């Protein structure tokens, strides 16, 4: 038992339950070495060996082994080999191109896995500085998947860059974008864009002849026209938002309405002055009111959220123009009252055009012909509005 006691660590008997014979051995957990026994009762440090001991003999031998602490080791007993503390090797950075070393946190990590949001030990960062750790990571499914995803992203970025370069350098694509912009200005439906491009080709327009880029990009479909207009609208809105954002002060003009599809919308305009003190009015957005209620709190919330999404400071808003309805100018719960809580210096202005509309609607009641004309028209409008509402529901 001297060789066994020299280990001074817990040992456990191992047996094979699938056979009648037993593997008599004792595993030391820390070094993963084992002590095998033979029929003579002699023990030696080494790999497990198969023996024909009985189960009782195995249990007897296991009971004879007790746990001994390291402090009881005598001088004549051999010392155990302890695990060496490894350090990060700078040469690994050249061998494993994806490897990165964080000296402050004292760990290494896989840059590719981290960029692809993989969840593994090396992606999070590990201090297990061993070549075997890196070799296992290379063959892991997570790392291989991250490498494929990174390669696909790189190929897509190169293809997109090449397509943009070809498109911007092609004068025919620029001419097609001008066509889509002209149609938007003239209120021509975008579904007419393919026929408009065909008409330009029929007229032998030199700037539209080479519109095709590659085998599949023709830039002559309705989807292309819609995308052109969407991109141009985004660019124009960004420029307008920047002008309003940089202005020393601005005013907001809003009006709430319900269109023919019974969709509640709030149109928003902004009025600013330039460095020459020249006023400019810009259309900002048609905000769809998804809430079933269109009270003052709802309208205020939608307006403030939109302006904040464009980084426009409401404290610079010094005036509100509206139609004068109670939901807009109510003394206690109107939109103007709620906006004044954000900027007490803001004033409310009743739109002159809406005032004129109120005057004409009130004056028409004193004209007999207009009263008779309105009687059959109003029920028709109410009927069709009800039908559309029922279809929408």
Count of domains for the chain: 5
Higher pLDDT, residue 40 or 129: 129
4 pLDDT higher than 60: no
List, for residues 153-195, the tens digit of each pLDDT value.
Answer: 877 777 666 656 655 667 888 888 889 999 999 999 999 999 9
Claim to verify: residue 276 and residue 331 sit in the same structural domain: yes
What percentage of the chain carries pLDDT values higher than 70? 72
Rounded Cα distance, 99 and 89, in Å = 11
Give the DSSP H/E element, type plus range, for residue 287: strand 279-288
Rounded Cα distance, 298 and 321, in Å = 17
Claim to verify: residue 338 and residue 362 sit in the same structural domain: no
Claim to verify: residue 340 and residue 362 sit in the same structural domain: no
Q: Which domain holds residue 377?
A: 358-392
Instruction: Report if residue 253 sits inside a domain.
Output: yes
Is 0.95 topped by the overall pTM? no
Residue 268, beta-bridge partner list: 254, 285
Q: How confident is the model at residue 159, as a pLDDT? A: 67
Claim to verify: residue 269 and residue 323 sit in the same structural domain: yes
Claim to verify: residue 334 and residue 262 sit in the same structural domain: yes
Instruction: Report if residue 141 sits inside a domain.
Output: no
Instruction: Report if residue 212 sits inside a domain.
Output: yes
List, for residues 239-290, the tens digit of each pLDDT value.
Answer: 999 999 988 889 999 998 877 777 888 999 999 988 788 889 999 988 888 8
Rounded Cα distance, 225 and 173, in Å = 11
Contact 324, 336 (CB under 8 A): no
Claim to verify: residue 344 and residue 261 sit in the same structural domain: yes
Give the DSSP H/E element, type plus range, for residue 267: strand 264-273
Q: Which residue has the tokens 């750790």?
A: 133
Q: How confident is the model at residue 244, as a pLDDT? A: 92
Instruction: Report if residue 77 sits inside a domain.
Output: no
Task: List phi, psi (to 5°) of 243.
Answer: -65, -40
Q: Across 41-50, 127-136, 158-167, which has the greatest mean pLDDT? A: 127-136
236 pLDDT higher than 60: yes
Claim to verify: residue 283 and residue 338 sit in the same structural domain: yes
List, for residues 49-82, the tens digit of each pLDDT value.
Answer: 444 444 444 444 444 444 444 444 445 545 555 5
């Amino acid at each position: 038992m001297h060789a066994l006691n020299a280990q001074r660590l817990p040992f456990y008997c191992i047996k094979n339950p699938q056979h009648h014979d037993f593997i008599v051995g004792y595993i030391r957990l820390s070094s993963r070495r084992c002590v095998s026994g033979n029929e003579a009762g002699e023990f030696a440090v080494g790999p497990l060996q198969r023996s024909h001991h009985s189960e009782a003999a195995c249990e007897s031998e296991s009971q004879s082994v007790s746990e001994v602490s390291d402090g009881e080791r005598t001088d004549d007993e051999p010392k155990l080999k302890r695990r060496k503390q490894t350090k990060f090797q700078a040469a690994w950075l050249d061998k494993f191109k994806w490897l990165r070393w964080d000296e402050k946190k004292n760990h290494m990590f896989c840059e590719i896995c981290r960029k692809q949001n993989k969840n593994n030990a090396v992606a999070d960062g590990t201090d297990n500085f061993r070549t075997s750790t890196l070799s296992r990571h290379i063959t892991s499914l997570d790392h291989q998947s991250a490498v494929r995803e990174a390669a696909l992203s790189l190929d897509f970025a190169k293809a997109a860059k090449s397509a943009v370069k070809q498109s911007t350098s092609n004068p025919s694509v620029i001419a097609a974008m001008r066509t889509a912009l002209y149609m938007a200005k003239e209120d021509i439906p975008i579904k007419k864009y393919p026929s408009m491009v065909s008409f330009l080709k029929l007229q032998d327009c030199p700037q539209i002849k080479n519109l095709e880029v590659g085998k599949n990009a023709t830039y002559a479909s309705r989807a292309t026209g819609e995308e052109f207009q969407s991109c141009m609208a985004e660019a124009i809105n960004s420029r307008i938002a920047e002008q309003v954002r940089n202005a020393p002060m601005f005013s907001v003009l809003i009006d709430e309405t319900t269109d023919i599809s019974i969709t509640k919308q709030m149109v928003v305009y902004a009025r600013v002055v330039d460095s020459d003190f020249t006023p400019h009015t810009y259309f900002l957005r048609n905000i769809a009111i998804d809430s079933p209620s269109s009270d003052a709190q709802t309208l205020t919330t939608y307006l403030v959220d939109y302006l904040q999404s464009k980084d426009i400071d409401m404290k610079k808003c010094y005036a509100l123009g509206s139609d004068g309805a109670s939901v807009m100018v109510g003394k206690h719960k109107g939109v103007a009252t709620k906006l004044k809580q954000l900027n007490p210096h803001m004033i409310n202005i009743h739109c002159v055009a809406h005032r004129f509309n109120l005057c004409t609607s009130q004056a028409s009641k004193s004209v007999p012909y207009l009263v008779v004309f309105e009687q059959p028209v109003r029920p028709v409008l109410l009927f069709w509005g009800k039908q559309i509402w029922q279809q929408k529901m």
